[in-house]
Each structure stands twice: as structure tokens, then as C-alpha cells.
Structure 1
């Protein structure tokens, strides 16, 4: 039987059959081998057959193609690795115990904004943070007012039966649902199977009403929980003079608030994390910033470019030791704190 004809090798392959210098392979040959192997899924044996050379030479062709930049291989980490690295970097940058990142916020539909979609995206991460807090029946969980916490409370969190839930600030005279702290307390208690404790007081009572409220036994019971709380879940407010949505009791015309970059529990602070007072704030029925520093687990939840400086200032003041946010906000914070 006559011997089968061998394929005629392309120009430049003859030298490969005698194991010539790989560095002298023509670029066209390197490209041809790489294209067959990487884009057409041919095996090295297939490539060798088509080029009329050995598998060993094909291996050298592919190595040379990578060395000369004809083949560029990108290794993309899975999303959980990327997110883990980002959360660790942010925790170190802000000196926080933990940072919990949500999935990216979904694109809002027509007529909707990020405010309308953030609750569902953030709730699972908030649930992880609360679960890790180790709360037991009888422990106190404080919750703040604000749109972010209110939206998160519309979704399932984590079962924490028997945990006592209490507001960090008065606000039963506020028209918006997200500043009605008793409503948020009820929602969070429902989501975790806890026991709500209500605070029937305005956030900023008048001079005559203030002392009588402090002497009320039902209010004293809630204030006592502030000093014994195991955990606090709080929103972070944007700079007060840049906000279109703010509690009615905040005097936005106050010159002192020009220095404020944000607030937690309606207590304002500046860029360095130092407290910022305003006229009448000595009557504010809200947990003190100093008291928050002594709560073992303090979880801030916030998203948005307008809150980057607010989050940084709150972390510098040590008013929270954990953060729940989305990847976009986390990256924006890192860009700010790592800026030369």
C-alpha cells in the first residue's frame, strides 16, 4: 500500500522539525498556531497535524506566542473573590471590624430611583451582619430612623427571636414614614421575630416638655436600653445642608451645621468625626454619639456617592464599627481615602 502523503508544512516550519531556535519563529506562524489552539479549540495534536510538525514544537510555538504578546491571557477572579478583597480593603482603610457588601444595586425602572431598589439589595447583607452579632433572647438591638433602614426593613432579615428592638431617637411627630422611629422599630422587630419597645416622644421637644418626658417611666425604659444595648443598626445621613429630605426638627438654617458632613441617629458630626451641635440640640431625645462608641456591635448601612464623606466621617468618629454598603459606594470611599 502506498504511504499517505504528508502535509506540506507552512513556511517557517521546516526549522521546527529540527528543533530550530524558537525565538526565530515568524509571527505569522505563531499567530496561526495560537488561533487554532485558543480560538478554534484545536488540540496540540490537531495543530501539529495541520502545521506538519510535532506536538513538542507546537508547545514551543504557543509559549513563544505568549512571550511576544500575540497571546494575552486574562485571569478574572470570581465575583466573590473580588467582593471579598474590596470589603477587606475598605475595612482596613476605615479601621472597621467588618464590611459587608451587597450585590450591586439593580437599575431602577422608569420613574424609580436607587431609593426604591436599595432595600432588597442591602437586606441580605444586613441579615449577615445581624446574624454575626451573636444576639441572644433578651439582648437589645437599637435601630435608627432614616430612609435606608426603613427600606431595608421591608425585607426579610434574620430570625432573632426574643431580641428587644428599640429606637435610637424620638420622632413620633414626623410626617414621613422613614422618620417615624416607632414604625421602623415595629418593622425590624417583625422581620427578626423580636420584641418592639416604642419611644413615644418627639425627637426635639420644647423646653417645657423635655424634662417631663425624661421622667416618664415608659420613656425611661427605652433610654435604659440605650446604655445596655448589644447591637445598633443605623443609617448614615448625607451632609444636612445638601439634603432635600431631612427631619423637620433639624434647623437647616443653622450656621453650625455648615461643618457637618453627616449624622447617625440624628447626631451630627464633621469631617474629622467630631460632634456638631445646633441650637436646641441639648434637648434632642436621641442616643449620644459617645454612647454609640460603647455598644459592642454598631452596624452602619448606607449607599450613594453623596454619603461617601458621611461614612468616612462617621468611621473616624468611631460611631460604628461595621458597615453594610454596595460595591460602587465601597469603591468610591476607597478612591477618596486612598487619594494622594
Structure 2
């Protein structure tokens, strides 16, 4: 009898068996929800409900500490940067897409541990957040809000769909109120942004952002084999790119650009950016960055130096690359003679 026929047999015992099989495929065999659904003859939403039921029944127990590497990388990062670090085990060699998928899956499972009833989640759109959404199961909350942290309109397209759809998808997963931010990612002129910030509709979003309890974002990198959306999708013209090079920019957080030392204030394009500055981000109690690329080590180190991160989710190779980069730029001091 095939799996599709088994699930038609309906009884509680049958459903428990199907739930366990879905949990095994998703958590132990690294299948996506879509792949699990195809194998079990179920929709993605049905698989999501099964996984939620498996967690509630205690069949699946998720502990952030369980996915740390045995080498103590998480503790090394925590000690070095004064953050909470969550290092995801991955088996090398691994493609950049597969690496991102593994880390995004962990982030999707960890997020409900931090975002609860009555809280506000701030989301900065991007490729990483898109992959997190692909693994995000349903976690109904009461009185929760999901707010977009940076605008997504670009000169080539409206860009509204990309940013707003990500916020909408996360809001649906948590049955939360959605607060989009329908402004450009980058204004043409600083004065235009100043005027827009005076609009009541925009002030409503900005005020909601000030109530954010948890922020979720990726780290963009100028030099990455898997380009961040802001660099690959028409948000920057040639003049912008020349300006970034002139200023020595290595990456961005929430579309605010930074140098390797974490400085950002005098970078011209940031005067036109719609995303929160590091100063604004630091007012948010928990700031979760999700990074899955060793090539992003320089940009990630800049983000850490700017104090934009309290919780870092990354894979073991990226963690090692980050520590090596930090050692190269700040070699440990030699011990004084005894």
C-alpha cells in the first residue's frame, strides 16, 4: 500500500505514523517541506502542521545548543564578540545554496523560541530571509506584529512584492499583524527621505519599528559567490557602485553600508538608505543575523564591529572563516614573559 493510500486510512494511529515519518524525513534526512510533501502525498501546509504537532507531542525536541559543533566554535565566537552564537553543523564539501538552506532551516526552527505573544518582529528582506521563510512552519501567536525594517522599491521595479511578500509570509506563519514599509530601498536624494519621514503613514511604520523586540536579517557582502539581493537586483546604479568602492565598503546590514572596521556614518549612500542604522538597531533587544557563506567573513566582521548583532546563526565553515579573519586583522597580543 502506497503512502497516499495509507493517509486515507484516517485513524489517529495512522496520523501519528505519518507525522513521525514526516519528522524523520525533514529533521534527519534534510528533506525540504516540499520534498516531504511529495513523498507523503501531502501539501506543504499539511507537512507544516504535522511538524508542529510532532514538536508539541514531544516527538521532536529542538535545542539550539544541540547543533553546535563539538570544537567549541560557538563559545569562541561568544567570547570574542560578546554575542550568542549558534553554529550549525554542515558536512563539507557543500554548495553555497545547500549551505544557506541548512542554516536557514535552523533559523526557522529557532525563531519561534524568541518571538512570542504580544511581541514585534522586525524583518529586513533579502535572499537569506527568503530561504528562512521556505522552512518556517506555522506558529500561531496572539497580539504579535511583523514589521518591515527597510524599504524595497527599486528604480527598475516597484520592489514592493519582494519586501512586502516576505513580511507577509512571516506574518502568516505567526498569525501576526503585518506592517509593510512601502518606500524605496534608496531615495534619490537625502532631502527626499527627510520629507518622506514626515508623512504620517511612514511615521506609523517607523514608530512600530521602535517597538521591535526581535530583528531578523542577513548580512550583505560586496564579494560573495551568492550575491545579496541588493547587489544583484538593480538597487544600485554604476555611480552607486563607484561610490561604495571609493568609501571602501565591504557589505551592508539592512541596506546600510559599512567598511571593514564597522564605520558607516560618512558613507554617502547611507544618507539615502531607508534601513535602520546601527544606532537604531542597537535599541532592539535581540538582533538575529543569519549568515551562511565563508566569503562573507569580512562583511560579517564589519557588522559585528558595528555592534549590530546579539545573536548569530551561521555554519561551521563560516564561523571558522570569521575567526581567521578576525585574527588576521587583530592578531592576539603576545604574552608577557613570566
Short-chain TM bin: 0.5 to 0.7
In 2, distance between residues paired with 1:142 and 1:154? 18
1:185 aligns with 2:167: yes
Aligned length: 255
Within the candidate set 279, 287, 302, 1:313 is matched to 302
Summarize deviations over 1:15-34 as a string: whole Å, max 9, x none: xxxxxxxxxxxxxxxxxxxx
Residue 63 of structure 2: aligned partner: none
In 1, distance between residues paired with 2:131 and 2:67? 25
Residue 63 of structure 1: aligned partner: none
Residue 326 of structure 1: aligned partner: 315
1:195 aligns with 2:195: no
User: Residue 160 of structure 1: CA displacement?
Assistant: 5.5
1:148 aligns with 2:128: yes
1:290 aligns with 2:248: no
Is the contact made by 1:237 and 1:310 (CA closer than 8 Å) also made in structure 2? Answer: yes
Summarize deviations over 1:193-233 as a string: whole Å, max 9, x none: 32211111112233475345323332221111222211100
User: Residue 122 of structure 1: CA displacement?
Assistant: 1.9
In 1, distance between residues paired with 2:280 and 2:302? 17
Matched residue of 2:187: which SS? Answer: coil
Structure 2 length normalisation: TM-score? 0.66
User: Residue 180 of structure 1: CA displacement?
Assistant: 2.5
Within the candidate set 92, 95, 105, 2:82 is matched to 95
User: Residue 266 of structure 1: CA displacement?
Assistant: 0.6
Give the 5 Å matches for 1:96-245. 96=83, 98-104=84-90, 114-115=96-97, 117-133=98-114, 135-157=115-137, 159=139, 161=141, 162-173=143-154, 175=157, 180-207=162-189, 209-239=192-222
User: Residue 277 of structure 1: CA displacement?
Assistant: 4.2
Matched residue of 1:253: which SS? Answer: helix
Residue 268 of structure 1: aligned partner: 257
Structure 1 length normalisation: TM-score? 0.65
In 2, distance between residues paired with 1:255 and 1:82? 36
Matched residue of 1:171: which SS? Answer: coil
Is the contact made by 2:100 and 2:292 (CA closer than 8 Å) also made in structure 1? Answer: no
Stretches of 4+ moved more than 6 A in 1?
105-108, 176-179, 240-243
Is the contact made by 1:213 and 1:219 (CA closer than 8 Å) also made in structure 2? Answer: yes
Distance 1:255 1:325, change over 3 A: closer
User: Residue 136 of structure 1: CA displacement?
Assistant: 3.3
1:304 aligns with 2:318: no
Structure 1, unpaired ranges of 5+: 1-78
Is the contact made by 2:108 and 2:135 (CA closer than 8 Å) also made in structure 1? Answer: no
1:85 aligns with 2:65: no
- Bigger Rg, structure 1 or 2: 1
In 2, distance between residues paired with 1:119 and 1:169? 22
